[in-house]
Amino acid sequence: MRNLVGSILISFILLFNSNSAFSFDFAPEVGDIAPNFQLEGFNKNIKTKTIWELSDFKGKWLVIYFYPKDFTSGCTLEAKGFSELKKDFSKYNTEIIGISADNKNSHESFCSEKSINYTLLSDPDGIISDKYGSWIPPFSDRNTFLISPDGKISYRWISVLPINHAKEVLNVLKKKV
């Protein structure tokens, strides 16, 4: 019976894994090289830049958090938490980026209205979110990755709760630096 259940489960995973609408990719593990990205985005403090990639943050710690949608209550709570602690993260040579399926114009409005002081990137097709095991079409799942200055995953949070999440990330960063 166990073999039958196992076979059915494996068949199910293989069936849906071959369909691009369903992703069963897993998040990169601690110690893995962080998946590269090249995404359009917005940062109200950097008006001349519109495309960001992982190499832009080489030599720094980087917090990448994936979130479902601009202006929703949980996403706003999480984004504001990181904004409030941005100076504290900067003390540890750390940048913050948020990634969702929202477009650049939505990010610009969200940053302006909610006083978000770091970069938000657009991943409308979920390609990068999927590389980080954070894509549940049509939205990014709420996962966070701490990437070391040498480009490796140093810590990860899967399916996080937005309340106090930024403080939790900062506390882990302090122990890593």
Banded pLDDT at 26 (limits 50, 70, 90): confident
Residue 25 lies in a domain: no
- For the cut 60, the answer to whether the pLDDT of residue 4 exceeds it is no
71-93 burial: b if 16+ Cβ within 10 Å, else e: eeebbbebbbbbbebeeebeeee
* Residue labelled with tokens 């992703």: 23
Q: Is residue 1 part of a domain?
A: no
Q: How many CA atoms lie within 13 A of 118 on its CB side?
A: 24
Rounded (5°) CA angle 175-42-100: 70
- What average pLDDT does this structure show over 68-96? 97
Look at residue 2 and tell me if it is in a domain: no
Alpha-carbon gap, residue 56 to 176, rounded angstroms? 21
72 belongs to a structural domain: yes
The whole-angstrom distance between residue 38's C-alpha and the CA centroid of its chain comes to 13
Three-point CA angle 72, 99, 59, nearest 5° = 140
Residues assigned a catalytic role: 75
Helices (H), ranges, 37-125? 73-84, 86-91, 104-114
Identify whether 131 is part of a domain: yes
Tell me, what CATH number does 138's domain have? 3.40.30.10
User: How confident is the model over 33-40, as a mean pLDDT?
Assistant: 97
- What is the predicted pLDDT for the residue at 1? 52
Instruction: Say if 78 falls within a structural domain.
Output: yes
- How many structural domains is the chain composed of? 1
Q: Is the pLDDT of residue 112 over 50?
A: yes
Q: Is residue 14 part of a domain?
A: no
Range(s) of the domain holding residue 65: 30-176
Q: Is the pLDDT of residue 146 over 50?
A: yes
